Structure 1
Amino acid sequence: MSNIDTMSVNAIRVLSADGVQKANSGHPGLPLGAAAMAYELWAKHMKHNPMNPKWENRDRFILSGGHGSMLLYSLLHLFGYGLTKEDLASFRQDGSLTPGHPEYGHTVGVEATTGPLGAGMAMAVGMAMGEAHLAAMFNKEGYPVVDHYTYVLGGDGCMMEGITSEAMSLAGTLGLGKLIVLYDSNKISIEGSTDIAFTEDVKKRFEAFGFQTLVVEDGNDLAEIGAAIEAAKADKSRPTMITVKTKIGFGSPREGMASAHGEPLGADNVRALKEKLGWTNLDEFYVPDEVYENLNSIKKELAKDEAEWNQMFENYSKAYPEMRKLWDQYYDDTVADDLINNDDFWAFADKPEATRNLSGQIINKLKNYLPNLIGGAADLAPSTKTYMSDMGDFSKDNYAGRNLHFGVRELAMAAMGNGLMLHGGLKAYVSTFFVFSDYVKPMARLSALMGLPLTFVLTHDSIGVGEDGPTHEPIEQLAMLRAMPNFTVFRPADATECAAAWYYAVTSRKTPTALVLTRQNLPQLAGSSKEALKGGYIISDSKKSVPDAIIMASGSEVELGINAQAELAKEGVDVRVVSIPSMDLYEAQSDEYKESVMPKSVRARVAVEAATDFGWGKYVGLDGTTVTMKGFGASAPAGVLFKKFGFTTENVVKAVKSVL
């Protein structure tokens, strides 16, 4: 290791330790142990340009062990991504660019929001899938316009989490040769030695997945690390996992100790660290000028990679103008907007149809308008109707395929969907049964946090699942997803509402969408319209300007509300039926609009939904009631269950009368 390289590695360590100490909060252990591998990668092997952090053909770097965020912030500062020393000194403080865990869209150079361990590992797989697909679509001989690697760094905790195995198993199956995993192996977790709970041979596990596996015995040996990275890049047919043996808290008095993981070192220990590293100036956040000069020279060299690519891309555009036009379409978020006035998109046969089937029809319309639409299911495409006909299957032998097969891996699927969206150029969807949104939720939460408009197709939406019984009948899942900020839940009642849901999903810029769809057939409703895009609207109006009562419902229960309205009319009770396919969008409407749909003066209100009543209270008020689920369902045909649990016209009529 040359002296300047040593100083640069140690600068990462010092800045990281100072940042955690200044905040009196954070995780110094990972940055101190992993500084060498991070520096070697960023300075000598990774293709990136700090002057243009969004360059399309940059290599991606994801810090899956997001608790070690000061490692990433120190790198971003030293390599000139715009973080200042003041930003580092504001680590974990309100409004700073250096929050406790890296946040995508908040800090320039952060490729993914990480924190839940293993999430970054799975998102990296999604990014590598995105690279492989776009390369297959756009590269021409002599013009590798999509040609970059995805690097992900994580530790023992990431390796323990099941999501990592889910995702890496698929990565091996797909032969994603441009995925490189850096395993920071220090054998320490919060509770102590990993031996208390984690003694497996991780290397053998990854070999079983189909990875090339390499080992760096000395995590401070830049030459050894560099050789491993180049060996990883040389294997084009397999992803690579590099085990880098490190010492947590390296250089500090707490080196190798669990206490180095998640708490500040202490002022005396930081001073001791600096002295051991040969730091002559012990001031906070001090970095020698020579280090900045070194990094600035590297930064200039890095810019040349993009300059060369830009020239190649210009020549490519001239040689293949039709491909350049397609490229621009892939990277244009507004392409789907025109579908609002596309008659074909909104046209459906007037016959009863399950909304999952209607969704499948819409997907097969969208594939022709959106060439970058890509997606699939957790081994359920025949049931969730998410297969795009004639678009091919994404596989080791065909990265151009647009149908993704995630296998039975719901959690990793959602994370990989995030990775596809984070990569850029693609519009992705993922799919499973609605009840398994419990498996999906943690990564859907990251979608919402990152502002990624990933689409979740969630079918078999209620007790209408029938014979599969309570384990497969979602009850509380609607409330769960509706409770999430920046996440739109759509439960359509018919074809028009289903089209509205998909239109919203593919035109959304910053919000993920869940489409919650039926297994059973539903009629096409005369009053449904594009007004569904407002989240709630009058689908069947009362005769009076101010109705006697209001029935609110979503999905399959809207029909029940309309049938009850007709029965009540026979008895002189004037009812308005409001379809609420999306509470999220309805809440975003003006107070004037909401008053026009559900006047506050009408206190006789009934909500009908084959799920828990949680969340409906704000609409039914103190005087209203609900026809909803109180338990977990049962195993029987759907028709039997809807009657058993009170989802009948008669029961809705009874409920309305009870509040008049």
Structure 2
Amino acid sequence: MTDTTSTSATRGSGAPFTPADTTAVNTIRCLAADMVQTAGSGHPGAPMGLAPAAHTLFTRFLRANPTNPSWPDRDRFVLSNGHACCLQYILLHLLGYDMSLDDLKRYRQLDSKTPGHPESHMTPGVELTTGPLGQGIANAVGLAMAEAHLAATFNRPDAPKIVDHYTYVILGDGCLQEGVSAEAMSLAGHWKLGKLIALYDDNKVQIDGTTDLAFTENVCQRVEAYGWHTLSVANGDATDQLALVAALAEAHRVTDRPTLIKVTTTIGFGSSKAGTYKVHGSALGADDVKRVKQQLGMDPDAAFVVPDTVRDLYASVHAHGQELEANWHHAFDEYKRKYPDLAAEFERRAVGKLPDGIREKLPTFSPKDAPAATRKWSGQVLGILGDLIPDLMGGSADLTSSNLTRWPTAVDFQATGNAHGAYEGRYVRFGVREHGMVAICNGLAAHGLVRPFAATFLNFITYAYPSVRLAALAHHRVMYILSHDSIGLGEDGPTHQPIETLALLRATPNMWVLRPADGNEVVGAYWAALNAPSIPVALILSRQNVPVLAGSSADGTGRGAYVLQDAANPAVLLVATGTEVALGVDAAALLDGLAVRVVSMPSWELFDAQPRAYQESVLPPGVPVVAVEALGTFGWRRYAHAVVGMRAFGASGAPEAVYAKFGITKEAIAAKAREVVDYFKGKAVPNVLNRFE
């Protein structure tokens, strides 16, 4: 354990507690009661219990500028127990963020800045969308990881530090019970993320009752086993939080471990239901709200009151935040004079711009090239991108040799001093922790200045899907590299063969899914992912070899679907993705006497975004369509009259035998095409695109 000389570690911590602090804490408690009472729903208990701890953290330690919530070197705060969002909204209001008293009164109302859980894309000052328990602390590990990596990358000993901030978290028992927190906190300890500090709200209550119904472990001992430093504050209810100040100051001095501070509080402090589950997720009732205010010395008949002394106290914190950012910009100017290239790189990353000249350096493949698995072409492309994009950072859930995600020049991200790497490294060994991996990548994306990716088998993204869903909801730019994408992985059998998984990803709003057919489409898929808006993108890759197809196109991939092989006046269209596109080409060759168009459709989402004229140029009205994919058929009726695919789980065996068992062969595809053509003879063929949503 070593001391830190950073002024950020002790800013404001020595300020004495005054009557204004007591009034501020009681104001927070009363505002929380008012917000939930006015809305008729919400969670008043945790905000009321946490008011002293949160007030102390935000007024004495947290470095932020409410005037500019996106200042790059601000401290990050994550409310992991997101149901306590009243607490965060109140603090944002008091600090002077774009959060009015009227916004607090509109808690949980449609399109307000104060929804029922914190949402980063709706509320200035909220770093991460939280709500599903455990996600916030896992995201916070990503934030702290980004800080450690960026500090090692940009800071220089003879210049001011331009990356030097902390990540603070408030979490509850539910967060610690969810498994994702264990995965992420274990990695935080391994990585020695000393600038990650978590306050654990030990209020001994959850929805079903007291926590001892199902949660009797020694949390501090468990977290210490992860490699964390732990402290306890026995009386978290006191408005004079000297013990918490001392604990936070000690946490700042511990630079080689993250710190968990257990703060024992009374849920619903001041309420007649205090200390019980009844105050967890329901309004207190008008009479009890008055009782709270009387107990705390506030006017029982007045609602949404913020005394001038509280406004003045928080105004001074706001002013100090503006000063901190101004000082940082002066320091950055000095840094820029000494290190102009590094400063330019920092500024490029800050606006999310790609380096110049990348597209020209990506390969083009020819049918003369040897067949390969699309995961191998992915590894080749990622190797180029890893060298060209210094903000690209990510890794695999203990499947590096299968996902092929580590490029030749990569250095592992590890705690500095670890024999396996350093904080400057950009390749991440997540271990067998899919859920933690993806949640951490959400934190990396939310931090900014990093472009994260996460890799596993397609089937195992379902371990991580809650975090994938939050990435889509909160508009995080994360790339998922998902190999072993179908029954084609063969002998591993149905436990590893994804069937329904792709449909789940395609059903997720604000997300792109691309399943490339060969090397050229892999290039197109990566280029689309790199240029996507702030949404997650999944690249779906094969284990088995496929040929480079004549007519395959990186540019066509970016349009979601394109004509790979055409015929004049086609009698039938074969539409396929990934490894089945080559099967479609082979099936077309068997259809003597029929004019067949083969369409590669790597991405439904990108195709749906094209103009109607382009869509109909690929899938013209009046022509029967047969879709082919060695995964579940769910959803394909949007684009096809018939589907060759999976309607059961897979089987263990050689890939060719498994494909044959389930009727996904060139012969079966050709037979289905003839069946569909014969069915529509003399009949009008419904236009698959003639559907209005």
The two structures have a TM-score, normalised by structure 2, of: 0.93
Which of 100, 103, 108 aligns to 1:92? It is 108
Give 1:195's aligned residue: 212
**Residue 490 (structure 2) aligned to one of 463, 466, 473:** 466
Segment of structure 1 superposing worse, 130-139 or 588-597? 588-597
1:427 corresponds to which of 446, 451, 456: 451
Deviates more, 1:216-225 or 1:610-619: 216-225
After superposition, give the CA deviation of every residue in 1:70-104 in whole Å (9 maximum; x if it has no partner): 10000000000010111011111111111100101
Q: Is 1:629 aligned to residue 646 of structure 2?
A: yes
Q: Mapping of 1:161-176 within 5 angstroms?
A: 161-176=178-193
Specify the alignment match of 2:297 in structure 1: 278
Which of 368, 372, 379 aligns to 1:353? It is 372
SS of match in other structure, 2:481 = strand
> In the alignment, is residue 312 of structure 1 matched against residue 294 of structure 2?
no
Residue 585 of structure 2 is aligned to residue 562 of structure 1: yes
Q: Deviations over 1:182-236 (max 9, x none)?
A: 1001010000001110000000001100110000001034111111111111100
C-alpha distance after superposition, 1:355-396 (max 9, x if no partner): 111111111111122111101011111110110222211001
**Structure 1 stretches lacking a partner, 5+ long:** none
Output the CA distance in 2 between the equivalents of 1:143 and 1:347: 47
CA–CA distance in 2 between the matches of 1:249 and 1:280? 18
TM-score normalised to structure 1 length: 0.97
Tell me whether 1:4 sits opposite 2:20 in the alignment: yes
User: Does residue 46 of structure 2 align to residue 30 of structure 1?
Assistant: yes
| Correspondent of 2:547 among 497, 500, 523 | 523
Determine the C-alpha separation between the residues in 1 that align with 2:606 and 2:28.
45
For 1:145, the equivalent position in structure 2 comes to 162
> Residues 355 and 494 of structure 1 are in contact (CA less than 8 Å); yes or no, is this contact kept in structure 2?
yes
Q: Distance in 1 between matches of 2:272 and 2:351?
A: 52
Alignment of 1:9-408 (within 5 A): 9-141=25-157, 142-221=159-238, 222-280=241-299, 282-335=301-354, 338-340=357-359, 342-346=360-364, 350-397=369-416, 398-408=422-432
Alpha-carbon deviations, 1:315-374, whole Å to 9, x = none? 00001112112212322423257544x154445782211111111111111112211110
Q: Write out per-residue CA displacement over residues 556-588 of structure 1, whole angstroms, 9 at most, x where no aligned residue.
A: 0001111111211xx211111111100111111
Task: Report the AA paired with residue 615 of structure 2.
Answer: K
User: Which whole-Å CA distance do the structure 1 matches of 2:85 and 2:71 have between them?
Assistant: 23
In 1, distance between residues paired with 2:627 and 2:431? 37
Indicate if the aligned counterparts of 2:362 and 2:381 stay in contact, CA closer than 8 A: no
Matched with 1:535 is 560
What SS does the corresponding residue of 1:609 show, helix, strand or coil?
strand
Q: For 2:34 and 2:611, locate their aligned partners in 1 and report how far apart those are by CA, in whole Å.
A: 48
Partner Cα separation in structure 2 for residue 476 and residue 600 of structure 1:
29
Indicate how the Cα distance of structure 1 residues 510 and 648 shifts in structure 2: closer, same or farther if over 3 A, else same.
same
Residue 362 of structure 2 contacts residue 523 of structure 2 at CA under 8 Å; is this kept in 1?
no
Partner of residue 14, structure 2: none
1:339 and 1:503 in contact (8 A); partners too: no
Give the match for residue 620 of structure 2: 599
Work out whether residues 154 and 162 of structure 2, in 8 Å CA contact, stay in contact via their aligned partners in 1.
Answer: yes
Tell me the residue number matched to 1:639.
Answer: 656
1:628 is paired with a residue whose SS is strand
Extract structure 1 runs of 4+ deviating beyond 3 A.
336-340, 343-349
Aligned pair 1:549/2:569, yes or no? no
Preserved CA contact (<8 Å) 1:374 1:429: yes
Residues 129-157 of structure 1: CA deviation (Å, up to 9, x unaligned)? 10000000000114211111101111010
Residue 572 of structure 1 is matched in structure 2 by 593
Once the 2 structures are TM-superposed, how far is the Cα of residue 290 of structure 1 from its aligned partner? 1.2
Tell me the C-alpha RMSD between the 2 structures: 1.2
In 2, Cα distance between equivalents of 1:653 and 1:564: 5
Note the C-alpha offset of 1:496: 1.0
Query: CA separation in 2, counterparts of 1:473 and 1:344?
Result: 31
Q: Structure 1, residues 26-45: CA drift from partner, whole Å, max 9, x if none?
A: 00011001111111011001
Identity percentage of aligned residues: 47
Structure 2 distance, partners of 1:347, 1:291, is 66
Deviation at 1:636, TM superposition (A): 0.6
How many Å separate the matches in 2 of 1:155 and 1:45?
Answer: 21
- Aligned AA (1:523): P
Contact kept? 1:93, 1:99, Cα under 8 Å: yes
Question: Residue 488 of structure 2: SS of its match in structure 1?
Answer: helix
SS in 1 for 2:310: helix
CA distance in 1, matches of 2:575, 2:28: 58
Count residues in correspondence: 651
Deviation, 1:655, is: 0.4
User: Which position in structure 2 is the counterpart of 1:498?
Assistant: 522
- Contact preservation (8 Å) 1:335, 1:370: yes
Tell me the SS of whatever aligns to 2:646.
Answer: coil
Separation in structure 2 between the aligned mates of residue 538 and residue 382 of structure 1, nearest angstrom: 34
Closer/same/farther in 2, CA of residues 332 and 391 from structure 1, 3 Å limit: farther
Amino acid at match of 2:483: T
* One-letter code aligned to 1:552: V
**Aligned AA (1:563):** D
Structure 1 residue 411: deviation in Å? 0.4
SS at match of 2:385: helix
Structure 1 residue 509: deviation in Å? 2.4
State the alpha-carbon separation in 2 of the partners of residues 170 and 30 from structure 1. Answer: 28
Q: Which residue, out of 580, 585, 591, partners 2:606? A: 585
Larger mean Cα displacement after TM superposition, 319-328 or 346-355: 346-355
CA–CA separation in structure 2 for the residues paired with 1:336 and 1:575: 42
Q: Which residue of 1 aligns with 2:667?
A: 650
Deviations 1:247-272 (A, max 9, x none): 11111111101011111111111111
Alignment of 1:501-512 (within 5 A): 501-512=525-536
Residue 508 (structure 1) shift: 1.4
One-letter identity of the residue aligned with 1:3: P
Deviations 1:278-320 (A, max 9, x none): 1136322111111101111121122221122111111000011
Asked if the contact 1:55–1:306 (Cα under 8 Å) also holds between the matched residues in 2, the reply is: yes
Residues 516 and 525, structure 2, Cα contact 8 Å, conserved in 1:
yes
Once residues 70 and 361 of structure 2 are traced to their aligned partners in structure 1, the CA distance between those partners, rounded to angstroms, is 37
Letter in 2 for 1:372: D
The Cα shift of 1:16 comes to 1.3
Which AA in structure 2 matches 1:619? Answer: Y
Q: Does structure 2 retain, via aligned residues, the 8 Å contact 1:339–1:345?
A: no
